[in-house]
Chains A and B, each alone.
Chain A
Amino acid sequence: MTAARIAGPLVSVSVPPLEIPALVLPALVDTLVMVGIVMSIVVLLGVPLGALVHNLAPGGLVENAALHRPLSAVISIGRSLPFLILMASIMPFTRLITGTNIGIAAAVVPMAIAGIAFFTRIVENSLRGVPADLVRVSRAAGASPLQIVRTVQLGEAVPSIIGGLTINTIAMIEYSAIAGTIGAGGIGYVAVTYGYQRFDHGVMVATILTLVALVALVQFAGDRLVRVATPRARITRATTPRSIPA
């Protein structure tokens, strides 16, 4: 039914308000699937990459300028290309991997690449915030570089990385909308085909509200997770009674 509507004649026939959910909700599911797959890949690769870049840098655990410079440059390129251009420029690569130019599968590849570059920098930045003292203490205790990365660097940076993950997820929701314009499906696709090409204000408003709600929900969940992951921010036990003014 959705497909028939999309394929229908290009006249300004608005979707009846009661039918908007049937149009937007499946699109929302597509967006969630897309962002979910992308973020899984991003976390799986971005965390180790971020830790690697951080520790190859001068002063890192496995300091190595010859490896750090090219790796950092590649990430910077990934970060600096506007998503639309990145998406278009890697189309052949995308087809090679997924066998298609359109749809969720095709959108996931450029989104993951942009997302990994983004998240690598976020992780690197979070690790930079971990005091050097803590690393030194663990080195003195005989820890291997990998043990230090796991327990000290990533361990201490968890709240900061979760905060970054929230930002990254929201950016990916945005990218999914951009990917929607080349037929990747999802909310962005609905917004473009109905709201933009057919001037259907009802659908436009519905997609905007859905996106705003989705982003707000992600932000809320992210903030909650950060609090849970930060002992200092948790209300654990009443160790110090409130001071009584004299």
Chain B
Amino acid sequence: MIKIDRLTKRYGDPETGPLVLDSLSLQVATREIAAVVGPSGAGKSTLAQCTTLLERPTSGSIVVNGDELTGLGARELRLARRRIGTIFQSDGLLSRRTAAQNIALPLEYLGVTKAGVRARVGELLDRVGLLDRAHHYPHELSGGQRQRVGIARALALRPTVLLSDEATSGLDPDSTASIVALLAELRDELDLSILFITHEMETVLAVADTVARLDRGRIVESGALVDLLRDPDSELGATLRPHRAAQQAGAGEAPWRVQYGEDGVPADWLSVLAAELGSPVSLLGASIETVHGRVVGHATIGLRATDAPLTVAALRRLGLEGVPVSQPTAAPARARALETAS
């Protein structure tokens, strides 16, 4: 479990250096995969580095497995780090060591016996599906295979916490999917807390329990993935939802964005809604998917009725959340605000 409290990081001078993380708080519970997304330069990697104290926080507290890391000396910190597995975007494999030798590295640092290393490395290679690649050098492996070696190495010391910084960026969709699936399985098997940093929304949808959006060193939005997806006002939810081009609303119709707010929405909700509003409802676009076993649906509909509060109430009765949209592909409110400001 990871508990980050009011973490502030300035590079260089602690008073005047650039503020990269601004009093950021974040928790990752046991068996939870917490995704952190955000634009380039938002501070995601800095957050990962501060979490293992590879970068020293300027202020704030970082508790991993109950240890306050910021108070530890070099020696205790090395011990604490052994309980945190880290996966980097660059696989970080040593080019002159085979896959097996790379995985063995953390065990060698710890002083595990040769026989112990061999047994554990075998287990790990088997777990990540690379037994037949044990004696291959990094340049003889594919990007996905190298990342698997990196994961095996991160797991070598049986950590309870895993930090993954852009572990799948640069991989093809198939490799990405299999790496993400592997992480989810490992979470279940090993009761890991995973801090999963990414900029790929599909991987967030596939694996995350919670999502936080980081922007300029602050968490601007966060919550459980399903809640965000079902919240029509959520910017993060809107970014995460797969974009399907909706038809333009017809003349005299106002487009609305509708989300499943709770389970058990009737299958014929469109006709029920039309009956309740006493005017026709046209379906402009829709999609339904299952996230963590819960149904997440969204739709764009065209309404002739003009009374917004009445419509919202009618939707609620059906278990739906809706908001009118000025255009079917409305830019997020904040982006618009920025445009006006400049």
Binding site for B on A (CB under 8 A): 131, 133-134, 136-144, 147, 151-152, 155-156, 158-159, 229-232, 236-237, 239
A interface footprint on B132-144 (CB within 8 Å = 1, 0 otherwise) = 0000110110000
Min Cβ gap B2→A in Å is 14
* A137-B88, A140-B54, A140-B86 known; A231-B78 Cβ under 8 A: no
A142-B88 in contact (CB<8A):
no
| Bound-complex Cα distance A200 to B109 (A) | 61
Select from chain A the residue with minimum beta-carbon distance to B136.
A239
B78-A133 in contact (CB<8A):
no
Min Cβ gap A229→B in Å is 7
B94-A141 in contact (CB<8A):
no
Task: Return chain B residues, CB-CB under 8 Å to A230.
Answer: 96
Q: Is B56 an interface residue (CB 8 A)?
A: no
A142-B105 in contact (CB<8A):
no
Task: Return chain A residues, CB-CB under 8 Å to B90.
Answer: 131, 133
* A151-B108, A231-B139, A232-B137 known; A142-B92 Cβ under 8 A: no
A interface footprint on B49-90 (CB within 8 Å = 1, 0 otherwise) = 100101000000000000000000000001101101010101
From B52, B84, B109, B136, contact of A144 by CB (8 A): B109
Min Cβ gap A150→B in Å is 10
From A142, A151, A231, A236, contact of B95 by CB (8 A): A231
Min Cβ gap A127→B in Å is 14
Q: List 11 A-B contacts (CB under 8 A).
A: A137-B88, A137-B92, A140-B52, A140-B81, A141-B82, A141-B86, A141-B105, A141-B106, A142-B109, A231-B139, A232-B139
Task: Return chain B residues, CB-CB under 8 Å to A232.
Answer: 95, 137, 139
* A137-B86, A232-B137 known; A142-B106 Cβ under 8 A: yes
A239-B109 in contact (CB<8A):
no
List B residues 152-182 near A (Cβ within 8 Å): 153, 156-157
B137-A141 in contact (CB<8A):
no
| Bound-complex Cα distance A239 to B142 (A) | 11
From A139, A140, A152, A236, contact of B94 by CB (8 A): A152
Task: Return chain A residues, CB-CB under 8 Å to B82.
Answer: 141-142
Instruction: Given A140-B84, A230-B96, output 7 extra A-B contacts at Cβ < 8 Å.
Output: A138-B105, A140-B54, A141-B86, A142-B110, A144-B78, A151-B94, A231-B137
Q: Summarize A's interface: helix, strand, loop or mixed.
A: helix
Min Cβ gap B315→A in Å is 49
Q: Is B97 an interface residue (CB 8 A)?
A: yes
| Bound-complex Cα distance A156 to B96 (A) | 6
| Bound-complex Cα distance A239 to B135 (A) | 12
A134-B94 in contact (CB<8A):
yes
A158-B94 in contact (CB<8A):
no
| Bound-complex Cα distance A134 to B136 (A) | 18
* A140-B54, A151-B108 known; A133-B95 Cβ under 8 A: no
| Bound-complex Cα distance A111 to B52 (A) | 46
Interface centre among A136, A142, A239 (most CB of B within 10 A): A142
From A137, A152, A229, A239, contact of B140 by CB (8 A): A239
A141-B109 in contact (CB<8A):
yes
Min Cβ gap B136→A in Å is 8
Task: Return chain B residues, CB-CB under 8 Å to A144.
Answer: 78, 109
B95-A141 in contact (CB<8A):
no
| Bound-complex Cα distance A60 to B106 (A) | 21
| Bound-complex Cα distance A225 to B119 (A) | 32
Task: Return chain A residues, CB-CB under 8 Å to B79.
Answer: 142
B96-A229 in contact (CB<8A):
yes
Interface centre among A140, A143, A156 (most CB of B within 10 A): A140
Task: Return chain B residues, CB-CB under 8 Å to A236.
Answer: 137, 140
Select from chain A the residue with minimum beta-carbon distance to B92.
A137
Min Cβ gap A146→B in Å is 10
| Bound-complex Cα distance A117 to B144 (A) | 43
B157-A142 in contact (CB<8A):
yes
Task: Return chain B residues, CB-CB under 8 Å to A239.
Answer: 136, 140
| Bound-complex Cα distance A61 to B52 (A) | 16
B96-A141 in contact (CB<8A):
no
Task: Return chain A residues, CB-CB under 8 Å to B84.
Answer: 140
Select from chain B the residue with minimum beta-carbon distance to A234.
B137
Task: Return chain A residues, CB-CB under 8 Å to B108.
Answer: 147, 151
Interface centre among A141, A151, A158 (most CB of B within 10 A): A141
| Bound-complex Cα distance A143 to B92 (A) | 14
| Bound-complex Cα distance A147 to B78 (A) | 12
Task: Return chain A residues, CB-CB under 8 Å to B96.
Answer: 155-156, 158-159, 229-231
Min Cβ gap A201→B in Å is 49
Task: Return chain A residues, CB-CB under 8 Å to B92.
Answer: 133-134, 136-137
A141-B81 in contact (CB<8A):
yes
